[in-house]
Each structure stands twice: as C-alpha cells, then as structure tokens.
Structure 1
Amino acid sequence: MKLASIHFYPVKSTSGHDVGEAEVQPWGLAGDRRYIVLDEHGVILTAREIPRLLMCLPELDGETLTLTGPHAAPLRVTPTSTRSVIDMRNTPVELTDCGDDAAAWLTALIDRPARLAWLDDPTRRPVDPAYGRPDDRVSLADAYPLLLTSTASLAQLNDWIAETAVERSEELPEPLPMSRFRPNVVVDGADAAFAEDGWKRIRIGDVEFRVVKSCDRCVLTTVDTRTYTKGKEPIRTLAKHRRWDGKVWFGRNLIPEAPGRIAQGDPVAVL
C-alpha cells in the first residue's frame, strides 16, 4: 500500500489543502485545525449547519493565516491577547480571539455573527481517555489527531450508492469525491474495501500510528462542495451498509506515536 494523498484544514469546517508532504505533530498534521469559527456566544459554528463556511479558503504562510473568499478581499489574521474558554466536546479549551476584522470578514461570509479563534497552545486539549493515553493531545479536529480513509473503501461506497440509485429508479449520481470525508491521509492499494476496520497499528513512511477508532459520519458529508447544498448521500447508503451503534461509519482515527514527516507515495504498512 502507499500514501495516495495528504490533506489539512487550517480552519475547522472550512476548505482545506492537498499537499505533497506534511509534518506529523503529536496533535495532528502541522497547521491542521488550529483555528475555529464561533458565534457571538462562543458556540462552535460548523459547515454541518452553515455550508457557506466551505467558501472560506484559509491560506497558511508559516504561522500567518490569510482568509480568502468570494465576498471580500483576502484578510490577514492577527490574533489578539483576548482569551476565552469554549466547550469542545465536553472539554473546556482556552482559545485566543483573532480580532474584530476577522469577525467582520466571517460575519459577512455567512450572514450571521461569527468570530475566529486560535488554539495557540495545541497541548491543551486531551484526546478522549476511552481511546487515548493520558498524554495524547489533539488540535481542534473533532476528536483525534488524524483521519485515514482508503480509496478501496470509497470505490465500494460509490458502487453501493449507484446500486441504491438504481433500486430507487433515480438518476445515476456522479461518484463522490474523497473530499466529502475530509481525511488527512488517504491510502491506496488496500487488499479489500474497509480492510482498515481491522487495523490496530500502521506505519506511513517512518511514522507509526495507533489506529484507535472508526469514524462516525455526520451530515457534513452530504454537502456538495461545488454547490454548497445538502443531499442524501452518502449517509443514506452508509446507513444501509455501515450502520452500527446507532451511527454510520467511514474512515479510521489515528494517533501518532512520535513526530515525523510523511510524503505522498510513502509506503503504508499494517503492523
């Protein structure tokens, strides 16, 4: 197997980037999900409820973040000294506010009050102790440092989606792109679809990871990133083929054993 592609998302729930190589840090890929959008009360805003957030393309130049979008000129973000604590999946996390200019830029994009906040210290947030060790940390990703998917599993899912359409006498849909699932690393060459369900440890290049949990999927996967509208897939078909514990599943969560670098084309080995 090999590493087919690498992806990171500087601002949670906005557009991401495909890169040829990346630094793996204890809490995730360098630059991945260190910023987050909040409402005026400090509640997290995501593209699950506000698909227009995906129109924001954050650009990182070293430590400097610039927001680009269709509604306004690019904005260079300047964090302030103001801090607040938000609830991140039942864990309090202290964040740094990114100022009124960023707030106005995002508010204009999504047409509701919004502010940008930065996780200046990524060692603050622990991983769920049910699946991680006491010293495991995660950025502002939903729960774990990295998400892995496989091309074999996506191909099978797209076949199932086509079968569902035929059964319902619907127009045959275009295959879903992997971007719907917002992975960090995509593996090619698995010997079977969903082979990753059984993986416990893997090595990508020289970096080892624990494979700690399957990823339950939400309505964000149904948002078409070209039109920013929601459909029924892939949730409808995942519910038919990949439903257990009251959720639907696609992808696996990873925790790195140590920092390192990975690159597109690196060999992937199950340990």
Structure 2
Amino acid sequence: MSSEMHSDIRARIARLFVYPVKSCAGIELTEAELTETGLDLDRAWMVVDEHGEFVSQRELPRMALVTPKLRHADVVLRAPGMLALHLSIDRVEEPMKVRVWDDEVMAYDMGDIAAQWFTDFLGRKLRIVRFDPDVRRLSSLKWTGGIEAPNQFSDGYPVLVASEASLELLNRKLAAAGGGAVGIERFRPNVVLSGIEAHDEDRIDTFHIAADEAVQLRPVKPCVRCPIPNIDPATAKVDPIVTDVLQGYRRNEAMDGGVTFGMNAIVVEGVGQTLRVGQSVTGRFRF
C-alpha cells in the first residue's frame, strides 16, 4: 500500500499494567520491561481447579479482590479477611499439567500453602501454578500472520492495548444509559494510550514506541470481551450494564458479532527494552 494512503498518529503511554496472577487484580507501574511474552511477569501465575483447568473471574468474581504487590524476590497477594500470601518468584514445587483455553501445557505447582489460601478465599478446591519458561505457548498464527508470538497464561496474546479516549466514550454512553463511570482496570489492558481518538487503536498498523522507535508492537486481533468488564474490581459485584452498552456500538461482525474493546498486540521489536509512562508512541492507520 502506498505511503500516501496512510496518516500518522502521535500518542503517549498514559498507563501501564501487569497482572501477575491471571484473573486477579493488576498492578499499575510507571515502567515495565518488555519480554518476548509481553510485560515482565504478566500472567506468570494462574489459578487452576483440581483437574488443572484454569479458573477466572467469569465463574469466580471474587478473584478481582486478590491484589498483588511485586517485590524483588516475591509477589505478595492480599485479599479481604486473609493473611498475606508470599509467592517466590524463583522457587516452585512439582511439575503439573494444566489447561488454559485450548492449550494444555506443563507448569509448576506453587505448593499446598498457596493452594489452601486460594481454596479458603474462593470456596473451591484450587491450586496455583507458575508458567514453565521452557514451554512455548504461541498466539494464533492465523492472526499473527505467521509470526511466532509466545505468551505465558494470557488469554492468547502478549500485550493488550487500549486508549483513554475509548474509555471516555464508553463512560459517556454509560452515563446516558443511567450507569456510573467505570475504570480502565475492568478491561485489563497492559498499555493505555493517550492522545488518540476513541478506538483509534483498532486501526493502527504498528505502534512505534520511544524516540528511537526501539519498541514495535503490532495490533493483530480485536479483543472480544467476555463478562469480566461487568465486574467491579473494588467490590466484585456484577452489573451487566457495561456489556449491554457496549453491545449498542461495539459489535464486530468480523468477530462473529462479539463485542470488542482494545487490541491484542504482539512484540515485533524491543525485547529487553523498558516501557515507561510518558513515552511517545507513533503509528500509521491501516486502510
């Protein structure tokens, strides 16, 4: 496609989030190292049932109340009414086969104390596992255009990008429908952009980040939303108004009529680089 048919965007990284335990609360950071699988330690751990099948806020909304804190050697998890749980970053216990969506992979169990903590808080027999770094779990090659993009326990792609403007548009529509404003945390993005129009992130070919463009993230697939955005991360209460409002203007026929918000992206360049809030982001629209 000729360059005359592209137009440029200029944005900034407004916020960065990492979610160490899949489907638990995230951590907002001012900077994060970019790895092959996304931001460092993103979805490195996952809660599973006694059969090794992953569980999430979809069936256990109270997972939203488990809040992590990253330290040098461990991740500290807290939840209402519970003593803090410390997960070592460098130590694991037994190998265990687990399933995340259609992928069955080897992982490492984090031990009986951690398992009992999640069992007690969530009221089901559960365990928590750490992703095995020797495993290569790839994004769908259909959507990446044949590029091998590994993930840990994310739903399927290394990085999720959204924008402040997209959230502002949703909140205006929620207000018109009689609902309250929601935070971007409900959509669980890794990178939040400022300085672009609502849902411009859907139409960018590649995000070039920092002055030397050392980082390149390529959006490859619209993120089809499950009911998790209906869960208030502060209370774990569920209200379907968010999905109901999104249904009115974000149905995507290319995604079988699913509601989309944010873009799944892969890492093209920049493994080992540091993303920082305030960094410049440029890109060109696809037409």
Fold match by TM threshold 0.5: yes
Q: State the partner residue of 1:232.
A: 240
Give the CA deviation at 1:123.
4.7
Q: State the partner residue of 1:139.
A: 152
Count of aligned positions: 263
Gaps of 5+ in 1: 166-171
Q: Do residues 213 (structure 1) and 221 (structure 2) align?
A: yes
Question: After superposition, where does 1:148-227 map in structure 2 within 5 Å?
Answer: 148-163=161-176, 165=177, 172-190=178-196, 192-205=197-210, 206-227=214-235
* Matched-pair identity in %: 33
Counterpart AA for 1:196: E
State the Cα RMSD in Å: 1.5
Give the CA deviation at 1:90.
1.3
Give the CA deviation at 1:253.
0.8
Q: State the partner residue of 1:168.
A: none
Where 1:235 maps in the other structure, the secondary structure is helix
Give the CA deviation at 1:196.
1.5
Q: State the partner residue of 1:255.
A: 266
Q: Do residues 43 (structure 1) and 53 (structure 2) align?
A: yes
Where 2:118 maps in the other structure, the secondary structure is helix
Q: Deviations over 1:77-132 (max 9, x none)?
A: 25543112222221221110000000011111111111000003165211111112
Give the CA deviation at 1:200.
1.6
Native 8 Å contact 2:149 2:157 kept in 1:
no
My pick for the range that moved more, 179-188 or 254-263, is 254-263
My pick for the range that moved more, 124-133 or 56-65, is 56-65
Counterpart AA for 2:189: P
Q: Which runs of at least 4 in structure 1 moved beyond 4 Å after TM superposition?
A: none
Native 8 Å contact 1:122 1:138 kept in 2:
no
Give the CA deviation at 1:249.
0.5
Separation (CA, whole Å) in 1 of partners of 2:45 and 2:62: 17
Separation (CA, whole Å) in 1 of partners of 2:34 and 2:191: 11
Give the CA deviation at 1:51.
1.0
Q: State the partner residue of 2:65.
A: 55
Taking structure 1 as the reference length, the TM-score comes to 0.92
Gaps of 5+ in 2: 1-10
Q: State the partner residue of 2:6.
A: none
Taking structure 2 as the reference length, the TM-score comes to 0.87
